Chain A
Amino acid sequence: MVVGDVSTHTELLVIGAGPGGYVAAIRAAQLGMEVTLVEREAVGGTCLNHGCIPSKALITASDRAHQARNSETMGINGEITVSFDTLMGWKDSVVDQLTGGVELLCEQAGITLMEGLAVFAGENSVRIVHEGSGEGAETVEFEHAIVATGSAAVELPSLPYDEDRILDSRQALALETIPDRLLIVGAGYIGMELATAFQKLGADVTVIEMLDKPLPRYDGDITQVVHNRATDLGVEFKFGYRGTDYTADDETITIQIESERGDTESITAENALVAVGREPVTESVEPDAAGLDLDDDGFIPTDGFGQTAVDSIYAIGDVAGEPLLAHQAMYEGQVVAEVIAGEPSAIDARAVPAVVFTDPEIATVGMTESDAEAAAFTPLVGEASLRSLGRALTLDDTDGFVRLIADSKTEIVLGAQLVAPEASELVGELGLAVELSATLTDVAETIHTHPTLSEAIVEAAEDALGRAIHSA
């Protein structure tokens, strides 16, 4: 210990105040633990400050503007202008409101909030480095620790972030103006969401993707709907290309791209957003010092209770492995807090929904047809298109479908995939169905409101049962 160090003791130390960390801290406090929550940067983590929330604010605004400009068929006409300053100000106020709320919740729960970088000093202690100049460090000893340090954008060696022309998603969400031309490298969910939003806000977006289609994790017929919509909006796609080199000045960036066959091209834009994936943030905590090893992908290995190989240390959220989703982190945070408190909890959810806020939205939960086959089920598949659905027509948004996967023997719903407006909301019911082992009949014979998009779920269930009313 350095002279002048302060040493304190805490029952539970949570490292990182993102969705996983703050939820774990609050649940632990509810369960009577004495909790210290240390955050290096901003309470709320990437999700609230630089990810889910600001991007959804941006997407909502872009949708509004787009719809207002494209509702002539409903007799709505007018000149729509977007004040990007105001939009970003509103976005920031939403973020502030949420992060302020989280901070307040933590205080009310009696959690000790500390600002600083936590670095392991052993199996039961960390040093908290206060990053402001001259603020020093202090040691905190803990009985249990939860590592919830999240993830950060992966950097491409060929296109290193420069905080000016080459941006990660966080910086893209903090742009001061809408770029006239925007290059997006990577057609994953972040790339596709922001491509759609910026295109709707008036940018000319080009998406460069090494693979031959967007959103490679999803089935082709689902991504096709989103791909088509994006193309209709004017997004340009360069599939099978990767960036090889670039030149940048104060105003533009030019990227050389090359296809697998050796075709080359150069594209110029105001900014390039690199969104090729996220990787766990582990180095900053110096896991070695606590005796923690990382797996090949850099994640901290945990068991079904979130416990690492070191008994006193748990890990949750992005740092603990796939799926890198805020709601997964929140769930794990609750479970781990309960486990530490001695409650009979475990990380065993069957249904982890995933959503892409494209246009239309994609949402999935549980198994796909091939997952079901791999798990030795004989899948029964039902689908319903939005094309004939009253509510979809009245929304003037009929592209998309709902697909349910069930076990043909028991007719228990195993999973669902949706590509539809509001798919992110619709999937909630299906997550419940999967967790409760509901059957197709349960879903089909539960009355759904008319006219709503949720009727497509009933229709898909009935289709699987071979008795759909509205489909041929």
Chain B
Amino acid sequence: MKQELELPDVGEGIAEGEIVAWLVEPGDYVEEDQVLAEVETDKAVVDLPSPFEGTVTELHAEEGDIVAVGSVIVTFETEGDGADDGSTAEDQAATESAETETETAQASSGQAEPDSATPAADTSTPPENAQTDTGAETPTPQSHIFAPPRVRRLARELGVDLGTIASANGDHPISETDVRRAAGQGESTQPQQATASSVEPEPEGAQTESAATPESDTVDSQSQSSVSTETEPRVSGPAANREKTLAAPATRQLAREMGIDIDDVPTDTIRDGTPFVSPADVEAFANRDSATEEQSQHHADPASGGSEMAVEPAGETGDEERVPYRGIRKVIGDNMEQAKFNAPHVSHHDSTEIEQLVETRQLFNERVDEDFSITYLPFVIKAVTRALKDHPYMNSSLDKEAGEIVLKDHYDIGIATATERGLVVPVIADADKKGVRQLAREAAELISRARNNEITPDEMQGSTFTITNFGAIGGEYATPIINYPEAAILGLGAIKERPQVEDGEVVAQHTLPLSLTVDHRLIDGAVAAQFTNDVKTYLNTPEMLLL
């Protein structure tokens, strides 16, 4: 029988993922749990195991495609009777394919229902095989495509075939939102809302492990992270709860009939400054599961994939290369935007000589028998956590909605790490309770796994303060961007011998340049300076850490 695999929620509530690589091709016979593809979400790259044993008949996405969770990505031909195990197989797909959440199961079971909103299911297959391949449908006659002129124009602009949407919509009018969605634009593309972030100013990607010096290989520049909250596609999002909504009388009646408050229906369409709700929005809101599924189909539709490409202006001007802005790059970008636009940044620069620390580290490395060398980073983490305890606002975040500043009672330190894919921020939890050796081990492991793309989304969440070691690549000072919504980030410059004045004499000493950026809403310059002074004290007099 025919089985379909939908992209499961492979992260924590992700909305979409990029097919990085297919490990199978049509015709391949796959075992259960065999890895089908590598999927990159905004947080990590994960392997997608097969929930079925059978032959791959079709791949519904190209490598590089962004695919919505719930979209059919692989069709299999499996042994057995389709009628009764269809839905269980689907559920299986959901539960087995990665560390997933329950939303996927919902999407999948909705999918498996024969009456799901795909009137144009492939007629060559029995009806019980809930078919979602919209490519095989008969074209919708022009007279059954209900779309106002502005929608038709938009569709032409974006290269979207209205017939495809119409067949999924029944005879319901097509909205601008429908067209944008089919074009891959708009609401469903980014679950970026409350994502945290931080970063660094300098170019990333130039370096890999080899670029990091042995001395400081633990941390690399930059950071990114993730505290994703809003994860579902728009249509199933929370009630909008507006005060005012524009809608046609029939739409209002539809909402009344469905027992829905029109002000609760989410929409991205704004007319005259007021949110505008279409009948499709109401129905989508009323029937979240099926709407989610329907939307996913649009994403899976090859036609809409193509049109998404069409939206981007082709590289017509000379030899410019145009690189898609998506995946981790886009997440980083969105996070940076959010951090920099929300939090007024101020940076404080200082440096400290660390002759004693250099010796202490040497001592540790001589005495401690580990299969890795202890870098300066664990000492910095130690110094930072100690200083944070004396400056609680440095380890806080702003809950603007509640009108409260949250002073954290835990000290989870994010380590900005440059990888080939971009900036990620693995987190060392409860860093204040760990010794230098354990910090060194954890940091080394996290960073290594981040660079090998083995890190899980879990391991990149919940930091309360972030350290970025751009100095590993080079440079003295920077203006790091906060890993939002944290309150501050500390950047480390390159450790090297620099001329210092001691007792009126210029001497060469190891120094560590420090670049601290704080959210000025929460932290004033004086506090930033005091915090930096404390960190300096712990670093140039490591014995103080014993206190």
> Do chains A and B interact in one complex?
yes
User: Is the pair A445, B250 in contact by a Cβ cutoff of 8 Å?
Assistant: yes
User: Is the pair A438, B171 in contact by a Cβ cutoff of 8 Å?
Assistant: no
User: Is the pair A346, B172 in contact by a Cβ cutoff of 8 Å?
Assistant: no
Within 8 A of A (CB), among B124-142: 141-142
User: Is the pair A412, B249 in contact by a Cβ cutoff of 8 Å?
Assistant: no
Of B143, B156, B250, the contact of A375 (CB 8 Å cutoff): B143
Against B, the Cβ 8 Å flags (1 = close, 0 = not) of A445-471 are: 110000000000000000000000000
With A344-B156, A407-B171, A410-B172 as given contacts, are A435 and B141 in contact (CB-CB < 8 Å)? no
Of B141, B142, B152, B173, the contact of A412 (CB 8 Å cutoff): B173
B433 proximal to A (CB < 8 A) = no
User: Is the pair A438, B152 in contact by a Cβ cutoff of 8 Å?
Assistant: no
Q: Which residues of B contact A439 (CB under 8 A)?
A: 248, 250
Output the least CB separation between B443 and chain A (Å): 54
With A412-B171, A442-B248 as given contacts, are A435 and B149 in contact (CB-CB < 8 Å)? yes
CA–CA, A349 and B152, complex, Å: 9
User: Is the pair A348, B173 in contact by a Cβ cutoff of 8 Å?
Assistant: no
With A407-B171, A412-B173, A436-B148 as given contacts, are A441 and B156 in contact (CB-CB < 8 Å)? no
B22 proximal to A (CB < 8 A) = no
Output the least CB separation between B117 and chain A (Å): 15
B521 proximal to A (CB < 8 A) = no
Output the least CB separation between A9 and chain B (Å): 26
Of B143, B147, B250, the contact of A411 (CB 8 Å cutoff): B250
A437 proximal to B (CB < 8 A) = yes
Q: Which residues of B contact A435 (CB under 8 A)?
A: 148-149
Residue in chain B with minimal CB distance to A444: B249
Against B, the Cβ 8 Å flags (1 = close, 0 = not) of A405-431 are: 001011110000000000000000000
Residue in chain B with minimal CB distance to A407: B171
CA–CA, A361 and B14, complex, Å: 60
With A345-B156, A349-B149, A407-B171 as given contacts, are A445 and B144 in contact (CB-CB < 8 Å)? no
Of A345, A375, A442, the contact of B141 (CB 8 Å cutoff): A375
Residue in chain B with minimal CB distance to A439: B250
Interface size class of B (residues with CB under 8 A): 20 to 34
User: Is the pair B147, A445 in contact by a Cβ cutoff of 8 Å?
Assistant: no
CA–CA, A66 and B152, complex, Å: 46
Output the least CB separation between B371 and chain A (Å): 62
Q: Which residues of B contact A445 (CB under 8 A)?
A: 249-250, 253
CA–CA, A440 and B248, complex, Å: 11
Output the least CB separation between B465 and chain A (Å): 50
B29 proximal to A (CB < 8 A) = no
With A344-B157, A375-B143, A376-B141 as given contacts, are A442 and B249 in contact (CB-CB < 8 Å)? yes
Residue in chain A with minimal CB distance to B149: A435
Within 8 A of B (CB), among A358-394: 367, 375-377
User: Is the pair B144, A345 in contact by a Cβ cutoff of 8 Å?
Assistant: no
CA–CA, A375 and B145, complex, Å: 12
Interface size class of A (residues with CB under 8 A): 20 to 34
Within 8 A of A (CB), among B201-254: 248-250, 253
Of A346, A375, A437, the contact of B148 (CB 8 Å cutoff): A437
User: Is the pair A446, B249 in contact by a Cβ cutoff of 8 Å?
Assistant: yes
Output the least CB separation between B388 and chain A (Å): 56
Q: Which residues of B contact A367 (CB under 8 A)?
A: 143
User: Is the pair A409, B171 in contact by a Cβ cutoff of 8 Å?
Assistant: yes
CA–CA, A441 and B256, complex, Å: 13
User: Is the pair B173, A437 in contact by a Cβ cutoff of 8 Å?
Assistant: yes
CA–CA, A412 and B170, complex, Å: 12
Q: Which residues of A contact B408 (CB under 8 A)?
A: none
Q: Which residues of B contact A348 (CB under 8 A)?
A: 142, 152
CA–CA, A407 and B145, complex, Å: 12
User: Is the pair A410, B171 in contact by a Cβ cutoff of 8 Å?
Assistant: yes
With A436-B148, A437-B173, A442-B248 as given contacts, are A346 and B156 in contact (CB-CB < 8 Å)? yes
User: Is the pair B152, A346 in contact by a Cβ cutoff of 8 Å?
Assistant: yes
CA–CA, A34 and B297, complex, Å: 45
B153 proximal to A (CB < 8 A) = yes
Q: Which residues of B contact A444 (CB under 8 A)?
A: 249
Within 8 A of B (CB), among A59-86: none
Against B, the Cβ 8 Å flags (1 = close, 0 = not) of A223-254 are: 00000000000000000000000000000000
Q: Which residues of A contact B142 (CB under 8 A)?
A: 348
Output the least CB separation between B523 and chain A (Å): 51
Output the least CB separation between B242 and chain A (Å): 21
CA–CA, A158 and B260, complex, Å: 69
Residue in chain A with minimal CB distance to B162: A348
Q: Which residues of B contact A346 (CB under 8 A)?
A: 152, 156
Q: Which residues of A contact B144 (CB under 8 A)?
A: 375-377
Q: Which residues of A contact B170 (CB under 8 A)?
A: 409-410
The residue among B144, B156, B250 with the most chain A CB atoms within 10 A of its own CB is B250
The residue among A349, A377, A410 with the most chain B CB atoms within 10 A of its own CB is A410
Against B, the Cβ 8 Å flags (1 = close, 0 = not) of A321-359 are: 000000000000000000000001110110000000000
Of A344, A412, A446, the contact of B146 (CB 8 Å cutoff): A412
Q: Which residues of A contact B146 (CB under 8 A)?
A: 410, 412, 437
Output the least CB separation between B170 and chain A (Å): 8
Q: Which residues of B contact A438 (CB under 8 A)?
A: 248, 250
Output the least CB separation between B180 and chain A (Å): 14
Against A, the Cβ 8 Å flags (1 = close, 0 = not) of B402-432 are: 0000000000000000000000000000000
Within 8 A of B (CB), among A99-138: none
Output the least CB separation between A6 and chain B (Å): 37
Against A, the Cβ 8 Å flags (1 = close, 0 = not) of B143-171 are: 11011110011001100000000000011
Q: Which residues of B contact A441 (CB under 8 A)?
A: 249-250, 253
CA–CA, A346 and B141, complex, Å: 17
CA–CA, A409 and B119, complex, Å: 15
Q: Which residues of B contact A377 (CB under 8 A)?
A: 143-144
Output the least CB separation between A347 and chain B (Å): 11
CA–CA, A344 and B171, complex, Å: 24
CA–CA, A442 and B249, complex, Å: 5
CA–CA, A444 and B252, complex, Å: 13
CA–CA, A445 and B247, complex, Å: 12
CA–CA, A377 and B144, complex, Å: 9
Within 8 A of A (CB), among B412-464: none
User: Is the pair B249, A345 in contact by a Cβ cutoff of 8 Å?
Assistant: no
Q: Which residues of A contact B250 (CB under 8 A)?
A: 411, 438-442, 445
The residue among A344, A409, A437, A440 with the most chain B CB atoms within 10 A of its own CB is A437
Output the least CB separation between B257 and chain A (Å): 10
Output the least CB separation between B3 and chain A (Å): 33
CA–CA, A444 and B153, complex, Å: 28
CA–CA, A216 and B149, complex, Å: 31
Output the least CB separation between A114 and chain B (Å): 33
Q: Which residues of A contact B157 (CB under 8 A)?
A: 344
CA–CA, A412 and B251, complex, Å: 12
CA–CA, A129 and B147, complex, Å: 45
CA–CA, A436 and B148, complex, Å: 4
CA–CA, A436 and B175, complex, Å: 10
Q: Which residues of A contact B148 (CB under 8 A)?
A: 435-437
Residue in chain A with minimal CB distance to B142: A348
20 residue pairs bridging A and B, Cβ less than 8 Å apart: A344-B157, A345-B153, A345-B156, A348-B152, A349-B149, A367-B143, A375-B143, A409-B171, A412-B171, A435-B148, A436-B173, A437-B148, A438-B250, A439-B248, A441-B253, A442-B248, A442-B250, A445-B249, A445-B250, A445-B253
Pairs of residues from A and B, 7 with the lowest C-beta to C-beta distance, nearest first: A445-B249, A344-B156, A437-B173, A437-B146, A441-B250, A439-B250, A375-B143
Given contacts A346-B156, A376-B144, 10 further A-B contacts (CB under 8 A): A377-B143, A377-B144, A409-B171, A412-B171, A437-B146, A440-B250, A441-B250, A441-B253, A442-B248, A445-B253
Q: Spell out A's residues near B (CB within 8 Å).
A: 344-346, 348-349, 367, 375-377, 407, 409-412, 435-442, 444-446
